[in-house]
């Protein structure tokens, strides 16, 4: 049964999960299908300790609720041992070089998950580590979250073809990874932000190049109503992310009008879903009534972090020759 289960997993053994654009459309789709399978198996109380005997280090420079719990539970589900590392214990790049930390941890564990600020820190860690490194979040990308987002969309609609997702808010790590993820699976994606808060041009350019191959259209606009029309999913994030607390008050004024509310949802297609990576600030980026109306989907999306990350960890850390 284990080998049967593992046969559904894409052949990504030994690779890192640093950014979505490092993978092909087929690889992303295979990971999503494997994640859905693992979710079904968990619901049926079928155990698959595919990483039995392994250890996974989890380094948190940014604290987290969903990332910490979903990774730790997922590691246990797979029969492995999670090791939680606080900033005070590692202090990446300060107590010792990132290269030395990577090489040391690689001698102890079978994989490293890192949640931090700088994308360059994750890339350097991956460069020097001899075990897979998974990006749990940086200021540039949030690839694990978008795998859960795409998984949720696939569960609801069954396909990405002919579908559109609109993201409303800051052109931040979520916007960047959504651009890449949607482009890779061939789904149209629109990012709408206040002027001056657009996603980085180089990310938009890369997503556009990917979309030209997969059939996905990419649009960046400051017109929220035009952006949402015809959308099957409407997505938002907090206006001020972790590390931007000092900007929160100013951003409330700058982002006024870039909110998911009943008017915005009336422009989307019937039965459109709302997605939010959480935590949600009701009354700011989303109204309380829309949040509660779509709560089932939003918290299914949160649950899917667990299943998507399990699929990623198995794909990267289980040797197919030993299946």
Q: Measuring CA to CA, how many Å separate 88 from each of 114, 218, 262?
A: 14, 41, 44
Check: CB of residue 259 under 8 Å from CB of residue 284.
yes
Q: Can you name the residues that pair with 260 across neighbouring β-strands? A: 286
Q: How far is Cα 296 from Cα 278, in angstroms, rounded to an integer?
A: 13
Neighbours of 295 (CB within 10 A): 13
Provide Rg for the chain, Cα atoms: 19
Q: What b/e sequence results for 214-240 when a residue is b if at least 16 CB atoms lie within 10 Å of its CB, and e otherwise?
A: bebebebeeebeebbeebbbbbbbbbb
Check: CB of residue 15 under 8 Å from CB of residue 318.
no
Among candidates 38, 75, 39, which has minimal Cα distance to 57? 75
**HSE, side-chain direction, 13 A CA sphere, residue 3:** 3
Among candidates 197, 149, 170, 176, which has minimal Cα distance to 32? 149
Q: How far is Cα 37 from Cα 4, in angstroms, rounded to an integer?
A: 12
Known catalytic residues are 115, 142, 145, 237, 277, 305
Largest CA distance in the chain: 56
Q: What is the DSSP string of 139-159?
A: SS--HHHHHHHHHHHHHHHS-
Q: How far is Cα 37 from Cα 129, in angstroms, rounded to an integer?
A: 30
**H-helix segments, the chain:** 2-6, 25-43, 66-77, 87-90, 98-106, 119-128, 143-157, 173-185, 201-214, 224-228, 248-254, 262-267, 288-293, 295-317
């Amino acid at each position: 049964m284990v080998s049967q289960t593992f046969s559904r997993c894409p052949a990504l053994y030994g690779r890192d999960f640093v950014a979505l654009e490092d993978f092909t459309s087929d690889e992303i789709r295979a990971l999503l299908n494997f994640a859905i399978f693992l979710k079904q198996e968990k619901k049926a109380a079928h155990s698959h300790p595919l990483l039995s005997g392994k250890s996974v280090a989890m380094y948190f420079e940014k604290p987290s609720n969903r990332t910490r719990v979903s990774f730790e539970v997922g590691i246990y589900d797979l029969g492995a041992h999670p090791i939680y590392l606080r900033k005070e214990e590692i202090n990446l790049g300060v107590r010792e070089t990132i290269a030395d930390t990577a090489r040391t941890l690689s001698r102890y564990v079978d994989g490293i998950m890192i949640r931090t600020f700088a994308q360059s820190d994750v890339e350097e860690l991956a460069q020097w580590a001899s075990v897979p490194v998974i990006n749990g979040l940086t200021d540039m990308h949030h690839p694990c979250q978008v795998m859960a987002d795409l998984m949720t969309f696939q569960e609801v609609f069954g396909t990405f073809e002919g579908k559109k997702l609109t993201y409303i808010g800051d052109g931040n790590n979520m916007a960047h990874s959504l651009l890449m993820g949607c482009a890779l699976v061939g789904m149209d994606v629109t990012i709408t932000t206040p002027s001056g808060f657009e996603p980085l041009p180089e990310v938009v350019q890369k997503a556009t190049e990917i979309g030209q191959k997969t059939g996905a259209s990419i649009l960046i606009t400051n017109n929220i109503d035009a952006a949402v029309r015809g959308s099957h999913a409407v997505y938002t994030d907090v206006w001020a992310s972790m590390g931007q607390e000092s900007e929160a008050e100013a951003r409330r004024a700058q982002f006024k009008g870039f909110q998911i509310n009943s008017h915005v949802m009336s422009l989307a297609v019937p039965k459109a879903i709302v997605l939010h990576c959480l935590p949600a600030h009701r009354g700011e980026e989303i109204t309380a009534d829309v949040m509660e109306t779509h709560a089932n989907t939003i918290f299914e999306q949160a649950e899917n972090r667990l299943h998507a990350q399990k699929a990623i960890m198995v794909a990267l850390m289980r040797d197919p020759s030993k299946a």
